[in-house]
Amino acid sequence: MRPSSAVVIVGAQWGDEGKGKIVDVLSENFSLVARYAGGHNAGHTVIRNGKKFILQLIPCGILRLGCRAVIGNGVVLDPMALLREIGTLREAGVSVKGPGAVSSDSAQPNLFISNRAHLILPYHRMIELAAENAPGRVKIGTTSRGIGPAYEDKMGRRGLRVADLLDPALLRKHIANACAEKNMIAHALFNTEPLDADAMYEEYARAAAQVSPFVCDTAVLLNKAIAAGESVLFEGAQGTMLDIDHGTYPFVTSSSATAGGALTGTGVGPTAIGSVIGITKAYCTRVGEGPFPTEVQGATGDELRKRGNEFGAVTGRPRRCGWLDLPLLRYARMINGLSWFVVTKLDVLDELAEIPVCVAYKVGGKKTAEIPAHASGYERVEPIYEKLPGWRKPTSGTNSLEKLPPPARAYLQFIEKETGVRIGMVSTGPDREQTLFLEEFPAQLGTARGTDPVKARA
């Protein structure tokens, strides 16, 4: 694998793998961090100097001086959520400035929003909330923030983009037409109250003036940066198994959460990407409905949830917990073309005497290496487990591979052997410093770190 200054970070499970911290740690070495999919239904949690930041739309690079944060065209953008997030960051002392800002300060622009990103409007939330709660509907477990309906309108070629938000006449006409249609549909199907198109226009016209300074053609920005030799980190949302094409359909998100989404979601060509990093927890979690072969019920699942603080960063919903699923990780390796794994929350397993790991699936009494295409196919899956010895020693805060207990190192080596993907980085706690690296990992990213890397494998 050649070193590259263009790297994709992708979740290798069902999301919530801790991508926020990993992007934050690695962003020290990158000039730009670009978000390529999803909306404000996904939260990335970053702890900096003991202070917690929950970022829903703005990439984690915003927290690094000299790093530019980019919201790509593949993201669906709620202008109100964006402005709230900008306000929260500024209140915390973080500079947030767009390329079109008029100000007397010397701060450089650090937030760029694609003029081609599609918008989430109140009628998207109305439709999704009503549909999710309608009698007889299969519950997907959405956050009801309008993500799915916004992507539906995008694919139906009736969406409103950021560039359109800045055109008052077009904005008024679009909102009037959309409200007439959506109000009729929502009332007929779900008996909901209609939305006021005039009030909506006034609210979003005001928001447009505040969003405008951040808007530009981000595809041009990113391609120029890569051509100039600058380093770019592409930040995904959710995870591989929530991808609209490759996940556990229909219990998935509405966008391309896999590495391929980084290309379509930013306008960067495939030859620009040098490596793809998959983030996986040392165990497994899932939020919402849908298949979960290795889910653990009862006291053990509750203990994993408690030790891992497994509650949604945005919604607060408790996450379902289970054991590491290696067939799933092998699938993620194939779909994303993974170059490396980063393992998070290793310390959550510290107190276990033994750790079951799913090494294969059995369907109808026969061992299989394939992931079911139908969600119902998972009902016939029987996980085959191999039990590994636990370490019963604290690993929290460990920043060197040699300092890990031997069974913990053996656990990581087992994951590598079974998936065929090397582990370049391990997180042993929520803070930036609670991280250990293999020396060759940052080197292969074409970056260099000031911290002491792990110099050898045990």
Active site residues: 16, 44
SS3 content of the chain, % helix, strand, coil (to 5): 35, 20, 40
- Look at residue 72 and give its three-state secondary structure: coil
Residue reference for tokens 């760029």: 112
CA distances from 402 to 126, 395, 415, 451, 454 (A): 53, 11, 17, 16, 8
**H/E segment holding residue 171:** helix 168-190
Paired strand residues for 71: 35, 113
Task: Round to whole Å and give the CA distance between 66 and 72.
Answer: 19
Instruction: Considering only CA atoms, give the Rg of the chain.
Output: 22
Helix (H) or strand (E) holding 424: strand 422-427
Cα gap 155→313, rounded to integer Å: 28
Q: Please, are residues 230 and 241 in contact by the beta-carbon 8 Å criterion? A: no
Q: Read off the tokens for 210.
A: 């505040």
